Amino acid sequence: MTDIRAFLSAWGYEDCPASLIAERENKVYRVDTKQGPLALRLHRVGYRKDTEMASELAWMAALSEAGLKVPMPVLNKSDAFTCKVDGVVADLLTWIDGKPMGVDGRLSKLPSSVGSFRLLGQEMAKLHHISDNWSLPASFERPSWDLEGLLGDNPIWGRFWENSQLSQAQKTLLSEARLLAVEHLESLLPELDYGLIHADLVPENVMVTENGISMIDFDDSGWGFRLFELATTINRLNREPNCEHLSEALINGYTQEREIDLTNLSLFQLLRSFTYTGWIISRMDEPGSDVRCARFIQTSENLARNYLDQ
């Protein structure tokens, strides 16, 4: 593997200590510089195109400049946000000092969980508002969580209805729900709120800091439905004992900043559950994937049954 210093040298930090702090889709290192810590991110080869990574960073920079609390990309010695060594793309981000709202699938103990999720709703709404008013670069390119990306023949996160852990009855159920959801979503397209979204605002990707809420990990960000954004967080909260209060706080926070029609929220909760059932297909060899897969399938089955019954 390439020495981490080869990446850091692009920013002039090759002599600074670096430690691995996360390894999921990407590898993330904490780099301790004289000016303070920074986050070096090594992107997984083949997961995103170069133009998509550059667009993500340009968007994050615009959000940060507009006052949103997100990591700010750091320009390197070549006045670029990224460098590439041996085919691996890296970027450097400002460090967010805080406590994640969730760790390993469980909510963290916070002074006020309800207050924290109300703040998250507000920041989510601000992200959408700022994005709608941002003049995109001509080369901007990100994934689209649209009808094709969610329910097409080859969804972004996999053909969920073909998950090998599904029983035949479950495959039939999810296939029926998918076909109906396609018709339903097609009929709603003209009226739905659509634009740039983070797409993965689960508690693990939200930091509680001294200055409020900060959103991190924009790796899956792109074009999508704003109800899909809310559904992502709410589906995760539904595993908590006080889920109704937390979801209510999230929605109240959002609607304090920005209007949104919640009529079809349940449809997007179903679609979000499908994405996890598809996402896990290529990760079944990872530790704990069998347990996660069973949970994802159970959620999709329950939501699909409710959807078809309605």
| Per-residue model confidence (pLDDT) at position 211 | 87
> Could you read off the pLDDT of 122-174 as tens digits, one per residue?
999 999 999 999 999 999 999 999 999 999 999 999 999 999 999 999 999 99
Is 80 exceeded by the pLDDT of residue 2? no
Structural domains present in the chain: 4-95 (3.30.200.20), 100-309 (3.90.1200.10)
The answer to whether the CB of 219 falls within 8 A of the CB of 156 is no
Q: For the residues 257-282, what does the mean pLDDT come to? A: 97
| Per-residue model confidence (pLDDT) at position 24 | 80
> Could you read off the pLDDT of 249-268 as tens digits, one per residue?
999 999 999 999 999 999 99
How many whole angstroms separate alpha carbon 214 and alpha carbon 97?
A: 9
Six-digit token pair at 306?
């409710």
| Per-residue model confidence (pLDDT) at position 106 | 85
| Per-residue model confidence (pLDDT) at position 1 | 53
> Could you read off the pLDDT of 37-60 as tens digits, one per residue?
999 999 999 889 999 999 999 999
Six-digit token pair at 171?
């495959």
| Per-residue model confidence (pLDDT) at position 89 | 95
Is 90 exceeded by the pLDDT of residue 25? no
User: What's the mean pLDDT when you consider all of the chain?
Assistant: 95
* 116-153 CB burial, b ≥16 within 10 A, e <16: bbbbbbbbbbbbbebbeebeeeeebbbbebbbebbbee
How many whole angstroms separate alpha carbon 306 and alpha carbon 14?
A: 55
Beta strands in 211-287 (DSSP E): 212-215, 222-225
* Range in 37-41, 101-105, 195-199, 244-248 with the lowest mean pLDDT: 101-105
Confidence of residue 23 (pLDDT cuts 50, 70, 90): confident
| Per-residue model confidence (pLDDT) at position 199 | 97
How many whole angstroms separate alpha carbon 282 and alpha carbon 296?
A: 14
Q: For the residues 230-248, what does the mean pLDDT come to? A: 94
SS3 label, residue 70: coil
Q: For the residues 186-200, what does the mean pLDDT come to? A: 97
Is 60 exceeded by the pLDDT of residue 308? yes
